[in-house]
Amino acid sequence: MKICCIGAGYVGGPTMAVIALKCPDIQVAVVDISASRINAWNSDQLPIYEPGLDEVVKQCREKNLFFSTDVEKHVSEADVVFVSVNTPTKTQGLGAGKAADLTYWESAARMIADVSKSDKIVVEKSTVPVKTAEAIEKILTHNSKGINFQILSNPEFLAEGTAIQDLFAPDRVLIGGRETPGGKKAIETLKSVYAHWVPEERIICTNLWSAELSKLAANAFLAQRISSVNAMSALCEATGADVSQVSHAVGKDTRIGPKFLNASVGFGGSCFQKDILNLVYICECNGLPEVANYWKQVIKVNDYQKSRFVNRIVSSMFNTVSGKKFAVLGFAFKKDTGDTRETPAIDVCKGLLGDKARLSIYDPQVSEDQIQRDLTMKKFDWDHPIHLQPLSPTAVKQVSVVWDAYEATKDAHGVCILTEWDEFKNLDYKRIYDNMQKPAFLFDGRNVVDVQKLRQIGFIVYSIGKPLDSWLKDMPAVA
């Protein structure tokens, strides 16, 4: 069997590498229109940082795993074509700000139809709104020249930072397809790929729409838990409750469970906001405004959490941060990834810059170029292929990017922790304090520091959802 995956991104790259590792009898080609991305996949410096990925790629590359820009050749030779291309949020026209822009998907589908000479199974891998498969099916069948295309939806549930672990031992693999003999056969074929390493009872087969909707629903439910606990964090600060204690107590209820209840400065990443916006749009299109508003609120609470964090900073520092230096520790949307898509750090940094602060940013995995790009990019522009994004962004002058937490915090008035990198737990905070302006403030957006210890050193500490420092209690209420 030959597999080809269109799109060598965060999903396509790791997923295909693991399929190649677990299925030595299958030839896997990953193709992309971005030559620089493919070159990186073929080098020692992979284009994405993901623990464990290097070893998997090294074991299979050039054996049964190939990265190439020759999209048409590999697609035409494949029996199974995974499509894992960008699906940005539309910024213009019908559904702007909510609907998925299927430009890249459609062009991939038309290309598949063009170059195919034999029957193919086309697998929807990138998250797309419900009923996309139907549209793709129409494009393929109306251009098929007698070739039989079967469309499957096989949404990816891996989380970044733990992608390899998630792919090795998935909670479940979901395969949706048509309930026709041809559809069922295609489902069995894809199932046989995963059955190389995933126990049969974990492979769930459904109809197409259930598979597509389950992905949007799973992400919406996860994001909703974070917004729920973040909403509680604001109430904790107002009452003197401690959000960690509350989430521990709530999570002990086995019906609720302990995961995804960590209060934070807000969720980020390429999926949660985008998928919920898609869900909202689908609800609206189906005449369900109440359901749409219900899910919209999950995003609103997330935006509120980010602006609440900025307001806390400004109000505790005498209502002005103009000219003050802030060390921003962490920029990625979570630890163990260099990915900054929709990271809460973007909104927090923009908020501080809007109040004329100066920023010195340190993240162990994010480059200066990426940070500058993120701080100048328009909302939703990040999800276009890299080669279509501006090459050298105009740098924001008040921002410097440094390669060490101590350098970032030197002479700073305040420290903001925006990603929960493990190394931030064990920094020498006494040394940091000694080198800062006084009073020295620390705003922990991820609840990683030991608040008591830092207060003993002399810091004024704000930590999400924790009893407030007496300093902050005396400050005006948050807007």
Question: So which residues are the catalytic ones?
Answer: 271
Cα distances from 152 to residues 36, 260, 295, in angstroms, run: 30, 30, 27
How many residues in the shown chain lie near ligand ADP by CB under 6 A?
22
Under the criterion CB under 6 A, does residue 71 sit at the interface with ligand ADP? yes
Rg (CA), the chain: 24
| Cis peptide bond N-terminal to 439, omega within 30 | yes
Residues between 379 and 398 that touch ligand ADP (CB under 6 A): 385
Lookup: tokens for 361: 């940013």
- Does position 156 interact with ligand UDX (CB under 6 A)? The reply is yes
DSSP letter at 386? Answer: G
304 binds, among ligand UDX, ligand ADP, none (CB under 5 to 8 A by kind): none
Task: Establish if 37 lies at the interface with ligand ADP (CB under 6 A).
Answer: yes
Nearest approach in angstroms of CB 25 to ligand ADP is 25
| 3, 4, 5, 7: which one binds ligand ADP (CB under 6 A) | 7
* Smallest gap from residue 386 Cβ to ligand ADP (A): 6
β-strands 149-153, 173-177: how paired? antiparallel
Nearest Cα neighbor of 41 from 22, 24, 58 is: 58
3-state secondary structure of 2: strand
Q: How many CB atoms lie within 10 A of CB 202?
A: 14
Distance CA 351, CA 327 (A): 14
Binding at 108: pick from ligand ADP, ligand UDX, none (beta carbon under 5-8 Å per type): ligand ADP
Residue 13 in the binding site for ligand UDX (CB under 6 A): no
Say which residues have a Cβ less than 8 Å from residue 405's Cβ, sequence separation at least 6.
327, 329, 362, 423, 424, 427, 432
Q: Which of residues 104-133 bind ligand ADP (CB under 6 A)?
A: 104, 107-108, 126
Positions in 263-322 near ligand UDX (CB under 6 A): 264, 267-269, 271-272
Give the three-class secondary structure for 388. Answer: helix
89 assigned ligand-binding residue: yes
Residue 272 counted as an annotated binding residue: yes
Burial 113-128 (b: 16+ CB within 10 A, else e): beebeeebbbbbbbbb
Q: Please report whether residue 160 would count as binding ligand UDX according to CB under 6 A.
A: yes
- 8 known ligand binder: yes
- How many residues sit close enough to ligand UDX to count as binding (CB under 6 A)? 19
Q: Which residue is nearest to ligand ADP (CB)?
A: 9
Q: Does 205 bind ligand UDX (CB under 6 A)?
A: no
475 binds ligand UDX (CB under 6 A): no
Q: Using DSSP, state whether 41 is helix, strand or coil.
A: helix
Q: Shortest distance, CB of residue 114 to ligand UDX, whole angstroms? A: 30
- Write out the two tokens for 198: 């995933």
Dihedral in degrees, nearest 10, Cα atoms 243, 245, 250, 256: 80
Within 8 A by CB and 6+ apart from 30, the residues are 4, 5, 8, 12, 13, 16, 41, 65, 66, 67, 68
36 binds ligand ADP (CB under 6 A): no
Interface stretch with ligand UDX, choices 67-75, 94-102, 259-267, 284-292 (CB under 6 A)? 259-267
If the CB atoms of residues 270 and 419 are measured against ligand ADP, the closer one turns out to be 270
Q: Min. distance of Cβ 420 from ligand ADP in angstroms?
A: 21
Q: Which is nearer to ligand UDX, 176 or 268 (CB)?
A: 268
On whether 137 is known to bind a ligand per the annotation, the reply is no
- Which residues of the shown chain bind ligand UDX in the complex (CB under 6 A)? 156-160, 219, 222, 226, 260-262, 264, 267-269, 271-272, 333-334
Please state the residue numbers annotated as binding site for NAD(+): 7-12, 32, 37, 85-89, 126-127, 160, 271-274, 341
- Which residues of the shown chain bind ligand ADP in the complex (CB under 6 A)? 6-12, 31-34, 37, 71, 84-86, 104, 107-108, 126, 270, 385
